Amino acid sequence: MNTLKYTVIKTEKQYDEYCNILEDLVFGEKELVLDDDKQDEIELLTLLIEDWDEKQRSSSVTDPVELIKSLMKDHNLNQQDLSEIAGVGKSYISEILNYKKRMSKKVIRHLADYFKIRQDALNRDYKLRANDLSPTF
């Protein structure tokens, strides 16, 4: 059985690898005319990379908590930093990041101002996790 040269991208590592291969194919060719096989390979890699990009963009755009986590990572911030930026306690930030509470309008406004993003990026609905309380008998 033949193994496929390329598959649907499932990891960041695979994504980076495919981007490097595509770059080599497009910019590494000295010849001006690519044969049909190379052209097909370029088109396939482009589709796979675009599919990954779209999935990553849509998943992070729809979840404000993941957006905040990503911004925290990008700016090297911890929960204490975020609580100071948002003007709320650290425990409230923890509950937001753990999907236990929704962000107040004040928190949304402060975070959007600080990160220079639109408030509606944080003002999206997201599912809260149920309290992990077991019934006592």
Which CATH code is given to the segment(s) 64-121?
1.10.260.40
Q: Could you identify the residue written with the tokens 């979840």?
A: 63
Average pLDDT of the residues in 101-108: 95
**In this predicted structure, what is the pLDDT of residue 30?**
60
pLDDT tens-digit map of 10-55: 888 998 899 899 888 887 766 556 688 888 999 999 999 888 877 7
Cα dihedral sign, 85-88-94-99 = negative
**In this predicted structure, what is the pLDDT of residue 88?**
96
| 0.75 exceeded by pTM | no
Whether residue 90 is predicted with pLDDT greater than 50 in this model: the reply is yes
